[in-house]
C-alpha cells in the first residue's frame, strides 16, 4: 500500500496526519504533532570497527539535487545511505539539514545497523543492507478528531489527489496545498 493509502488507514477522521516513507512523505495538519520515535531494526553493528566513518560518508556529502543514494565500505563494513530533502529547500538549506541529520543519527543511533532520522526539511537513512526493497515508515496522527469526519475525508482525498498530480508533474516532486471546507 502506498503512502496515500496509509493516510486513510492511520488518520481517518483526524485533524492531522503524517506518513513518512524513505521515498515519500505526506503530512496534513491543523495543530502541531507530538514527538514519536521508532527503531526500524534494533540490531547493532559490530563494535569494531565503529560504523561512524562510513555512515557519515554515506549520508553526508555535497547536496546538489536534494537527493543522494550512496554505498561506502566493503563486506561487513559496507553501509548504504540516502538522504532526501523537501522539494522547496534551497541547496544550502538542504546541505545544512543533511549535515545536522548525519551528525545526529550517528549520535542517537550509535552502532545501529539501520536508522532513519526525519526533520521537517530532510530525511537521512542508513543500513548495512540494500534499501531498494525495504520501505520502513511511520504513520502518526493528531490526537484531535475532525468535527465532521464524513465531510473531512473526501476533502482530504481530493487534496491528496491534487498534490500527487502536481508533485509527479514537476521536477522537484514536491507540492503543497490547502483545501477549504467550501
pLDDT digits (tens, 9 = 90+) for 15-43: 666 666 655 666 666 544 434 444 444 45
- The CA distances from residue 178 to 7, 8, 42, in Å, are 16, 17, 38
DSSP state of 138: E
For the chain, where are the alpha helices, taking DSSP H only?
3-11, 52-59, 91-108, 149-169
The partner residues of 81 in beta bridges, in order of sequence, read: 70, 126
Question: For the chain, percent helix, then strand, then coil, each to nearest 5?
Answer: 30, 25, 40
Query: Among 66-70, 120-124, 177-181, where is mean pLDDT lowest?
Result: 177-181
- The span from the first CA to the last CA of the chain, in angstroms, equals 30
Cβ(175)–Cβ(163) under 8 Å? yes
pLDDT average, residue stretch 54-71? 68
Query: Among 47-56, 93-102, 140-149, where is mean pLDDT lowest?
Result: 47-56
Cβ(67)–Cβ(84) under 8 Å? yes
How much is the pLDDT for 130? 76
Amino acid at each position: 500500500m502506498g503512502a496515500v493509502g496509509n493516510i486513510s488507514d492511520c488518520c481517518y477522521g483526524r485533524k492531522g496526519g503524517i506518513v513518512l516513507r524513505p521515498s515519500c512523505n505526506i503530512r496534513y495538519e491543523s495543530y502541531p504533532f507530538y514527538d514519536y520515535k521508532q527503531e526500524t531494526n534494533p540490531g547493532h553493528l559490530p563494535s569494531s570497527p565503529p560504523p561512524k566513518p562510513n555512515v557519515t560518508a554515506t549520508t553526508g556529502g555535497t547536496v546538489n539535487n536534494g537527493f543522494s543514494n550512496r554505498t561506502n565500505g566493503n563486506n561487513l563494513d559496507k553501509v548504504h545511505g540516502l538522504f532526501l530533502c523537501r522539494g522547496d529547500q534551497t541547496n544550502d538549506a538542504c546541505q545544512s539539514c543533511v549535515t545536522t541529520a548525519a551528525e545526529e543519527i550517528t549520535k542517537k543511533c550509535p552502532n545501529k545497523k539501520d536508522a532513519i532520522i526525519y526533520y521537517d526539511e530532510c530525511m537521512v537513512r542508513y543500513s548495512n543492507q540494500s534499501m531498494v526493497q525495504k520501505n520502513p515508515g511511520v504513520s502518526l496522527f493528531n490526537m484531535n478528531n475532525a468535527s465532521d469526519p464524513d465531510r473531512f475525508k473526501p476533502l482530504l482525498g481530493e487534496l491528496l489527489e491534487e498534490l500527487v498530480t502536481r508533485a509527479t508533474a514537476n521536477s522537484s516532486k514536491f507540492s503543497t496545498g490547502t483545501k477549504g471546507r467550501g
